[in-house]
Amino acid sequence: MSIIQQILFIAALGVVAWLMYRRIGIIGKTIRLGKEEIRTDQPAKRLSIMMRVAFGQKKMFDRPLIGILHFAVYAGFILINIEILEIILDGMLGTHRLFVAPLGSFYRFLIGFFELLALGVLIACSIFLIRRSVLKVERFQPVRHREMNGWPQLDGKLILVFEIVLMIAILCMNAADSALQDLGSAHYPATGDLLVSQWLKPIFTGWSESTLIVFERLAWWAHILGIFAFAIYLTYSKHLHIALAFPNTYFSRLEPKGEMKNMPEITQEVKIMLGLETQAGDTAVPERFGAKDVADLSWKNLMDAYSCTECGRCTAACPANITGKKLSPRKIMMDTRDRLEDMGRNMLANKGEFVPDNKSLLGDYILEEEILACTTCNACVQECPVLINPLDIILQLRRHKVMDEAHAPGSWNMMFQNLDTNQAPWKFSASDRFNWAAALADSGTQENQTES
């Protein structure tokens, strides 16, 4: 590799590193806008969950075929990128296949294994692209799910095409490299025929050495620049979950799914009402009940938003969505992330500080109709492959709407009034609460007498 190529490579690496540093910094700042929440208990259990769900892709295998294909893409792309270490060192040092000499015959086996993984990624991504574009899997279609209109729909397809192109580039690069080895070209150490790329070598039959060198260099640059571009694009795409799935599953909620987190100040009021406490304690009244904007949510809620894979499993399982309601748990997460992205751009434009923009998550991004449709059944939480909790965000937004803005459907207000006066959702006193059971017993007795 010439000194000019080395300089160009180092310059490209520096630009990518700077762009990644800036982007990751903004993502970190927007996540830290959320409220503090401690999730460091039971580290062994958390580590076990992370290894099973994030690394082992456990929940993806609820659908075995899709799970296998997804694991092929995930494992293949992660492991193939180990080869990037060699490419980066070659680019910086001006060498070619730096690890051939120290690894010897094992190098051929290792690159052959990487090629097999690349073929798996190529096949799996092609199948996923067909599912989205030809078979038109319902949960990805914007006609039924408005949150998939525009960029989200394009993003899902673009990332698949991106990965297919990268895999083709690495296989073509290796095939041209092998053809140059056969010609005895200088600077191309012998590795022998590789597992997959050897079948592409006939394409280069009759090519001159200079033409092969140009093609191999173009494929090399296409692959590494593609990887650099992919790394930057990843931070703007739903595929950020590739990195965030690990911390997101580690810090996931350990309590049972059906257990709702009570508000301490409200719990205290209820205890006073029930006579369990006689006077108010030290619990301060919060500035706002529930959540109106992302800063009212916890940092984990915001990490959930960035970790969303947009797979739509949550929405496909949501009974409210199935029955035609506007609620889509996937849209809740995407809207939360869109709000964070807008705030991130605001911070970039204002030297890292957020300047109020008179917008809020509830109202400008998520509608009242959506959050009121939720049945709190936890189907979305159960389905998520990376343990995201859309319900927690919905509940906090709904608490704000009801408690801060005193805006709730009439049927809810009637229930709240009954709870206040009767300590039960029904409109009868506590002394009459079990009359229905007595009536049911009398009815059963009469039926038995009739049968006798």
pLDDT grade, residue 187 (50/70/90)?
confident
Secondary structure class of 255 (helix, strand, coil): coil
Mean pLDDT estimate for the chain: 89
Whole-angstrom distance, CA of residue 408 vs CA of residue 295: 23
Please tell me which residue, 42 or 75, carries the higher pLDDT value.
Answer: 42
Helices (H) and strands (E) in the chain, counts: 20, 0
* Tally of CB atoms within 10 A around 125: 24
89-93, 214-218, 257-261: lowest mean pLDDT where?
A: 257-261
Query: Where do we find the tokens 């295998």?
Result: 61
CB 298 within 8 A of CB 290: no
CB 53 within 8 A of CB 387: yes
Please tell me which residue, 261 or 279, carries the higher pLDDT value.
Answer: 261
28-32, 126-130, 267-271: lowest mean pLDDT where?
A: 267-271
**pLDDT tens sequence across 344-355:** 999 999 988 889
Q: Which two tokens stand for residue 250?
A: 């580690």
Please determine, for residue 19, whether its predicted confidence score (pLDDT) is greater than 90. Answer: yes
Whole-angstrom distance, CA of residue 359 vs CA of residue 341: 13
Please determine, for residue 228, whether its predicted confidence score (pLDDT) is greater than 70. Answer: yes
Whole-angstrom distance, CA of residue 392 vs CA of residue 298: 10
pLDDT of residue 446: 65
Please tell me which residue, 295 or 266, carries the higher pLDDT value.
Answer: 295
Please determine, for residue 447, whether its predicted confidence score (pLDDT) is greater than 70. Answer: no
Please tell me which residue, 406 or 207, carries the higher pLDDT value.
Answer: 207
pLDDT grade, residue 448 (50/70/90)?
low
Distance of CA 452 to the CA centre of its chain: 64
**pLDDT tens sequence across 117-152:** 999 999 999 999 999 989 888 899 888 898 999 899
Torsion (CA) 212, 218, 224, 226 in degrees, nearest 10: -130
Whole-angstrom distance, CA of residue 444 vs CA of residue 452: 13
Annotate 41-53 with b (16+ C-beta within 10 A) or e (fewer).
Answer: eeeeebeebbeeb
Angle at 310 between CA 307 and CA 312, to 5 degrees: 130
Please determine, for residue 89, whether its predicted confidence score (pLDDT) is greater than 80. Answer: yes
Please determine, for residue 283, whether its predicted confidence score (pLDDT) is greater than 60. Answer: no
pLDDT of residue 215: 94
Whole-angstrom distance, CA of residue 430 vs CA of residue 388: 39
Secondary structure class of 355 (helix, strand, coil): coil
pLDDT grade, residue 360 (50/70/90)?
very high
pLDDT grade, residue 449 (50/70/90)?
low
Q: What percent of the chain has pLDDT over 70?
A: 96
Whole-angstrom distance, CA of residue 392 vs CA of residue 259: 11
Whole-angstrom distance, CA of residue 22 vs CA of residue 144: 36
**pLDDT tens sequence across 191-206:** 888 999 999 999 998 8
pLDDT of residue 323: 94
Whole-angstrom distance, CA of residue 151 vs CA of residue 163: 18
Average pLDDT over residues 54-66: 89
Beta bridge partners of 80: none
